[in-house]
């Protein structure tokens, strides 16, 4: 029953995260992604994939902190990404359970660093690349519904980036 519930929660996460990349402003993307990470965190707990669950917890905190800075149009002080990366590494160290457990840690580090930049394109590119890496992790830990979601995330991100590129080309002529 828990595995079925985990897959249903995974569907909610997929829908939420896929929608998030279509927001133009990074702070809106991050707020919606916080909700998606809450769903993912719950799913990974039900599947016993604790490394990913902890990293989703950190992602929620990171997104809410960064959201506040973006909302007030304040530059994110360098201490926050450093502190978050340190927390990620410490949690990762205590939850190390083989090479597979490193995947959520590396991905969360990449998200944390890319979210520091004001340009949402950097965050979107990282998001798309990491979706491909999540494919393998989700397969190995049994989050099968999320594999479909990872393909959707990658595709949705690619579409959003292409639309942005086309929109910007219109203004050059």
Would you say residue 102 has pLDDT above 60? yes
Q: Averaged over 32-46, what is the pLDDT?
A: 95
Domain parsing of the chain, residue ranges: 2-170
In sequence order, which residues have a C-beta less than 8 Å from that of residue 144 and are 6 or more positions away?
A: 7, 138
Tens digits of residue pLDDT in 108-139: 999 899 888 878 788 888 988 999 999 999 99
Q: Averaged over 40-55, what is the pLDDT?
A: 93
d(CA 110, CA 162): 22
d(CA 45, CA 27): 27
pTM score, whole prediction? 0.78
What secondary structure letter does DSSP report for 53? H
Contact (CB, 8 A) for 128 and 155? no
Would you say residue 87 has pLDDT above 90? yes
Tens digits of residue pLDDT in 135-169: 999 999 888 888 988 898 898 888 888 888 877 76
Residue 28, CB-side half-sphere exposure with 13 Å CA sphere: 7
- C-alpha to C-alpha distances, 72 to 61, 97, 98, 159, nearest whole angstrom: 17, 39, 41, 29
Band (173; pLDDT cuts 50, 70, 90) = very low
d(CA 43, CA 68): 26
Would you say residue 172 has pLDDT above 70? no
d(CA 74, CA 163): 27
């Amino acid at each position: 029953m828990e595995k079925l519930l985990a897959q249903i929660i995974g569907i909610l996460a997929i829908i939420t995260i896929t929608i998030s990349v279509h927001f133009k402003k990074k702070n809106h993307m991050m707020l919606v992604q916080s909700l998606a990470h809450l769903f993912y965190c719950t799913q990974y707990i039900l599947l016993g994939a604790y490394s990913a669950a902890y990293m989703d917890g950190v992602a929620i905190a990171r997104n809410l902190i960064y959201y506040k800075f973006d909302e007030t149009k304040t530059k994110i002080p360098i201490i926050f990404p450093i502190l978050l990366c340190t927390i990620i590494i410490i949690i990762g160290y205590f939850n190390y359970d083989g090479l597979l457990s490193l995947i959520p840690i590396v991905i969360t580090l990449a998200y944390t660093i890319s979210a520091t930049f004001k340009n949402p394109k950097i965050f979107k590119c990282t998001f798309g690349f990491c979706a491909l890496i999540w494919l393998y992790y989700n397969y190995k830990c049994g989050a099968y519904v999320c594999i479909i979601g990872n393909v959707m995330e990658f595709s949705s991100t690619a579409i959003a980036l292409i639309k942005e590129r086309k929109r910007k080309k219109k203004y050059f002529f």
